[in-house]
Amino acid sequence: MAVQTVAVSTDSSAEAVDLGPAAALSCRECGERFELGPIFACASCFGPLEVAYDLPSGSPEELKKRIEGGPDNIWRYAPLLPVPADVADKPNINPGFTKLVKADNLARELGVTGGLYVKDDSGNPTHSFKDRVVAIAVEAARAFGFTTLSCSSTGNLAGAVGAAAARAGFRSCVFIPHDLEQGKVVMAAVYGGELVGIEGNYDDVNRFCSELIGDPLGEGWGFVNVNLRPYYGEGSKTLAYEICEQLGWQLPDQIVIPIASGSQLTKIDKGLQELIKLGLVEDKPYKIFGAQAEGCSPVSTAFKAGHDIVRPQKPNTIAKSLAIGNPADGPYVLDIARRTGGAVEDVDDEQVVDAIKLLARTEGIFAETAGGVTVGVTKKLIEAGLLDPALTTVVLNTGDGLKTLDAVAATSQATATIRPSLDAFRAAGLAAG
């Protein structure tokens, strides 16, 4: 097996950091390498840093066996993640290994014949995929000696940080736009950490956090999606690993992924590439599709216009978890969609609601608005002939509908309210036959 060797100095502070196979940080733009640490931008070109590994040696069969014998959570992939070997014994929220649902009813409705699957990440501990990224960031925070965990969040991340901090024994202080859904606010507050609503949108929250991180006020804080971002991002690779393992160690042909900052989409691609490199799946083409809400669609707008630059937008959509107007990984999403032959598309709020209800009605899965975006975009891409219905397709549901009840509350109410009598029920016209 190829081992990526990395030139890093071995001074005592570097040796103290045990993040398993993580060997260094490398700049995505210029390739310069840095020692593992709570840094996120290249000192030479300001490009984003990502984790470089000494990937495991040995045969693919041995590695598969090791993974399959591991715990039923993301730690089964510990040899491919920036975490210590004994990570499963540490207090963490242990997310992952969520269901890959074969969605035959939805497939019939959408005319998909090649196999349609929903990767249902609402099954994570705080009911969104964010538990994956936070679980990894917690291990980095531990390794770097932080005692407070923080983040800027569109809602789900704040809840995931609150829960993981509570379990792992960190203080937490998280920042959200002040006008999020009640379900998101309560989920972020209930774990007992500090929750701060910022008067502004997510991009304002993010800007504030960037200032805080450079100020003595934020000293000693691990911001999971800022100074721990290179580690945090790696958590999304586990979605790629799980999907392939659950398909019997095969790549899907097409994947539809929601986009906020774009981190998840880029790291799923990274995960698929690693599986190919390690020989865990057979190399074949796959297409990656990105999904946005029309009211916050900077990446799909750039994709459809053929631009390489993503122009920031002011978000206005019910899909608040995806409401990032200035997505950090937007240009990389464009590269991946174009390189793989995929696309980036968007749907309006009405289509989001229709798609939430379509998924619920056909598969018994209640998605949050982000899931409505991916299902809605999947339908639109099929209708446009961009997504091939004859190929194996995986659609991500990244969050639980209970967090965004308002999106469907107006159109999902009791069919009838009656007195407790058979006569009243008969009169309501709902009896069988």
Strand pairing report for 221-223 and 194-198 = unpaired
Q: Is 156 in the site for ligand PLP (CB under 6 A)?
A: yes
378 binds ligand PLP (CB under 6 A): no
CA atoms within 13 A on the CB side of 225: 31
Output 63 or 242, the one with its CB closest to ligand PLP: 242
Q: Which of 87, 103, 141, 157 binds ligand PLP (CB under 6 A)?
A: 157
Q: Which of 263/378 has CB closer to ligand PLP? A: 263
- Report the nearest approach of ligand PLP to the CB of residue 185 (Å): 14
Please provide residue 234's backbone torsions phi and psi, each rounded to the nearest 5 degrees: -60, -25
Question: Which does residue 128 bind out of Zn ion, ligand PLP, none, counting CB within 5 to 8 angstroms by kind?
Answer: ligand PLP
Position 73 contacts ligand PLP (CB under 6 A):
no
Q: How far is the CB of 258 from ligand PLP (least distance, A)?
A: 4
Query: Which one of 124, 152, 264, 292 is in contact with ligand PLP (CB under 6 A)?
Result: 264
Q: How far is the CB of 267 from ligand PLP (least distance, A)?
A: 8
Q: For residues 233 and 226, what is the distance between their CA atoms, to the nearest angstrom?
A: 10
Query: What is the distance of C-alpha 339 from the center of its chain?
Result: 21
Alpha carbons 14 and 11: distance in angstroms, whole number: 6
Q: How far apart are CA 324 and CA 154, in angstroms?
A: 8
Residue 399 touching ligand PLP (CB under 6 A): yes
Residue 29 binding Zn ion, by CB under 5 A: yes
From candidates 79, 159, 222, 258, binder to ligand PLP by CB under 6 A = 258
- Residue 399 beta carbon to ligand PLP: minimum distance, rounded to whole angstroms: 3
Rounded to a whole number of angstroms, the minimum distance from the CB of residue 235 to ligand PLP is 10
Complex with Zn ion: residue 27 or 275, whichever CB lies closer = 27
45 binds, among ligand PLP, Zn ion, none (CB under 5 to 8 A by kind): Zn ion
Taking the C-alpha atoms of residue 174 and residue 158, their distance in angstroms, rounded to an integer, is: 6
Q: Going residue by residue from 176 to 205, which x/- string records binding to Zn ion, judged by CB under 5 A? A: ------------------------------
* Among Zn ion, ligand PLP, none, partner that 298 touches (CB below 5 to 8 angstroms by kind): none
**Interface with ligand PLP includes 292 (CB under 6 A)?**
no
Which position has the token pair 């829960």? 163
In angstroms, give the least distance from the CB of 17 to Zn ion.
Answer: 21
- 262 binds ligand PLP per the rule CB under 6 A: yes
Q: Which one of residues 148, 297, 313, 321 is an interface residue with ligand PLP (CB under 6 A)?
A: 321
Interacting positions 39-98 with Zn ion (CB under 5 A): 42, 44-45, 47
Is residue 398 a contact residue for ligand PLP (CB under 6 A)? Answer: yes
Which residue, 45 or 390, is less far from Zn ion as judged by CB? 45
Q: How far is the CB of 296 from ligand PLP (least distance, A)?
A: 11
Chain residues binding Zn ion by CB under 5 A are 27, 29-30, 32, 42, 44-45, 47
Residues lying near ligand PLP in the complex (CB under 6 A): 128-130, 154, 156-157, 258-264, 321-322, 368, 370, 398-399
